[in-house]
């Protein structure tokens, strides 16, 4: 007869493998969905890769948290750990809040705003009105080129707070930057 040694952690090991498998599957499915969306909306490859990177970081964090829970870390220990991490991150993020808001605004701009790279826009700011062509939309800021050839970096979070008019779509502006 076989002497099978029972593995006391078999359930946790199988659950961990399933969590990692789900992470890999979701990662590839979401990457395909984002790439398809980007293709339909004519987004640039490096912007698409940046959005996919942000989503992968979020999925990885959720997977890590799931694995911690699977292995039976007690709830009071998890809450103590999370509250400690949030305290440290909160103090550090307070100084970096604008960076986080710019990244979030960059993700929102990728998925939902009516202008694209190459469009000529007007930013309705009473102190600093800008009419320029969008050269690139980065994670933290947008690059604009004015009629005078001046390059302006404009923070993404401010772009979402101001009124924007699309003057010319990217197919119509060929004489703007000549």
Model confidence pLDDT, tens digit, residues 8-19: 788 888 999 999
pTM of the shown model:
0.55
CA–CA dist 175, 178 (Å, integer):
5
Q: Give 43's contacts (C-beta < 8 A, 6+ positions apart).
A: 37, 110, 116
**Residue 171 above 60 pLDDT?**
no
For domain 115-168, say whether CATH 1.10.1060.10 is its number: no
CA–CA dist 160, 85 (Å, integer):
30
**Residue 22 above 90 pLDDT?**
yes
pLDDT digits (tens, 9 = 90+) for 107-134: 777 777 677 788 898 988 888 888 999 8
**Residue 65 above 60 pLDDT?**
yes
Output the pLDDT for position 94.
63
pLDDT digits (tens, 9 = 90+) for 78-108: 677 778 777 776 666 665 666 777 777 777 7
Average pLDDT over residues 22-38: 92
Domain locations along the chain: 10-95, 115-168
């Amino acid at each position: 007869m076989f002497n099978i040694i029972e593995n006391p952690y078999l359930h946790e090991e199988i659950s961990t493998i399933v969590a990692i498998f789900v992470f890999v599957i979701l990662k590839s499915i979401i990457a395909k969905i984002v790439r398809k969306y980007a293709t339909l909306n004519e987004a640039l490859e490096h912007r698409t890769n940046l959005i996919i990177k942000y989503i992968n970081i979020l999925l990885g964090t959720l997977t890590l948290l799931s694995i911690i829970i699977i292995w039976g870390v007690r709830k009071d220990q998890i809450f103590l750990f999370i509250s400690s991490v949030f305290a440290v991150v909160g103090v550090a993020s307070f100084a970096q809040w604008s960076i986080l808001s710019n990244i979030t605004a960059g993700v929102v701009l990728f998925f939902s705003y009516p202008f694209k790279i190459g469009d000529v826009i007007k930013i309705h700011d009473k102190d600093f009105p800008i009419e320029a062509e969008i050269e690139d939309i980065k994670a933290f800021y947008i690059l604009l080129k004015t009629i005078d050839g001046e390059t302006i970096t404009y923070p993404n979070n401010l772009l979402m707070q101001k009124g924007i008019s699309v003057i010319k779509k990217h197919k119509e502006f060929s004489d703007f930057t000549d």
